[in-house]
Chains A and B, each alone.
Chain A
Amino acid sequence: MAVAHAHVAELNHESPTARAWRRLLRRKSAVFGLAVITLLVLIAVLAPLIAPFDPTQQSWTAIRKPPSLQHWFGTDESGRDLFSRVIFGARASLLAGVVSISIALGLGVPIGLLAGYGGRWMDAVIGRITDAMLAIPFLILAIALAAFLGPSLQNAMIAIGLTATPIFVRLTRGQVMAVKVEDYVEAARAVGNPARRIAIKHILPNILPALIVQATISIATAIIAEASLSFLGLGQQPPAPSWGSMLNTAQRFLTNAPWMAVWPGLAIFLAVLSFNILGDGLRDALDPKER
């Protein structure tokens, strides 16, 4: 089927990638998601230039001040500027989302290929391990892993990455199983191509769209997971800010400084929302069934 599409695309003198882009850009919501993500990435990268204050600079005469002209989002329990902290917090969240899912992809895809292409026993063993990992609630596994590795942003990313791996194993395996029986794979095998070459050259490109969609949505989940771990004190370490750890602190001051909880929460929401919207858009744009 995918081959058929490729042919159509060639006839139109349009590569599959270009066509996906065109279809993606036709969707207003997806464009919005993409724009927000681009903006967030820019904010994260340019944080030192944008932030009006040093996010770790304490000011003991201005603790827990409500939003004002000088401090747009107010100040926190040690008099640090919340606006600057939210801006710098974008780094932790985006990094956590992207790095942890890269880990999950890096581990999950090869293992999934192995399961789908490596014979019955391999498939059974990998299948059971995947089942087992999926059976333990995501957050519990992540908490245990993060506690084991020690609290830090880096370890939270590893914990989330490992916990998210089984999803990609399953997805890859499922896709391989579906593609494996397609004519062009059969043909490649008949010509005597080694299994590894078939997997990388013929199968991987065809399952890529599904992986991209899942990865985008998983990034959204990973950002929430990082915030959750930081909220429990297992993520980003002080004095560097992360949205989750800011919420953790804010909880103590809910009555006398509610703004401390509002901004980081909104930031998480916005970031996660954008990735989810983009994921939706990508799913439609990459779906071969739809034009």
Chain B
Amino acid sequence: MKDLIKPENETEAIQMLHRYNEDVLPQKFGKAGKTWVGILLVIIAFGVYNYIQQIRFGLSVTGLSDTVSWGIYISNFVFFVAVSLVGSLITAVLYLLNVKWRAPLTRISEVIAVSAIMFAGLIIIVDMGRPDRVLNMFMYGRIQSPIVWDVIVVMTYMTISFLLLYFPLLPSIAYCRDFMKNIPKWQHKMYSILSLGWKNRPAQYKVVEKAITILSVMIIPVALSIHTVTSWLFATTYRPGWDSTNFGAYFVAGAFMVGAAAVIAAMFLLRKFYVRFDEYFTDKHFDRMGRLLVLLSFIYLYFTVNEYFIPGYKMKGEEAAHLRELFTGIYAPMFWSVQILGMIVPIIVLLFKKGRKPFPIFIMSVLVIIGAWFKRYLIVIPTMLHPFLPLQQVAESAKHYSPTMAEWSITSASLAGALLLITLFVRYFPIISIWELAEERDIPHHTIYEHLNDE
């Protein structure tokens, strides 16, 4: 990349590193940060309260019924799983392709991945009728069940994502341990425990790089399988609208798209609140991510067409009722808004260079993210309203589904929880990996550790 400023000599390199490290050191929350955390905490507290109500009174506090037995908890779960795929995209795919501008993005995308997958696991427990029996899954697990596969891949992906976050984080934690002054004792202690005695030794760097290479290779199939298996929760049933062989690819494509959008949105917000970050998240990064997002959106568009056009062409018996509801029925406004605002409009805007400037691309990313959430709502709920047998002898309330306040509150709390986790990470850890940045700028490792350890 042309605009990458590379140091002329060692002194310059050391100066550069010094400045970089100072730039990315975690900072205390300002007024905005405190307000933000406060809002998130209120949303979470409200959600926790509602969850306690749900435990007491059962799932009857939701809008679910025997007809629509899976609702926004499940669509939200699918959304979280989708977002979490970004970790593997930015870190692994771009790493293996040796893309040069990826370094500043890796950590933020891994943090998004780890928090999303954690809350995916939590929200699925929230959906259970008997959360007290969650251990039955391990005591009596049936390998034939896609849910068991999902539990296995979610736990595996969570572990791998965590490791992929942690290994490159070690030098940064060590830097915080050694150079952050005026911090509370517990914070210093946390850094020294988490840094695992990191001393910037060449041998240590070698181990880290080896681990990253292994993880980058390994995370791709696991990431693909986590989203594919999640799609199988639906595709293994007979229900019109879910009974699709296209579902795995369709879900994966959608996940890549929303994941990329999530990283773009995070970049924009970090740049906004940490002014010095515009050196790391440059306009060039937005441009590149914009191109990537267009590419991924096109892939998703392709699968979407496959998913709806072909069944829509046939209008096969039971499927027809479901599709009509989406195309022209009560779900039509949501369906077309999601397709147009969440996919077509972003594609068109991002095709133009001006559209890939930070602000417009941020707006487009937010559209993609909101669209992605409702897209999953449309995948889960309308299908359940169209079983093979007609809806007869069911209560009027079981012929529709609208989430209750409790459901919205718990769902919002899970989203807020994921955002809070990301926020707290940014508060306590450097969100850009300096040593990877240095590598990108061809600053040799020995410079890094000599510089750091001489200090």
The yes or no verdict on A and B being binding partners is no
Interface residue ranges, B against A (CB under 8 Å)? none
Interface residue ranges, A against B (CB under 8 Å)? none
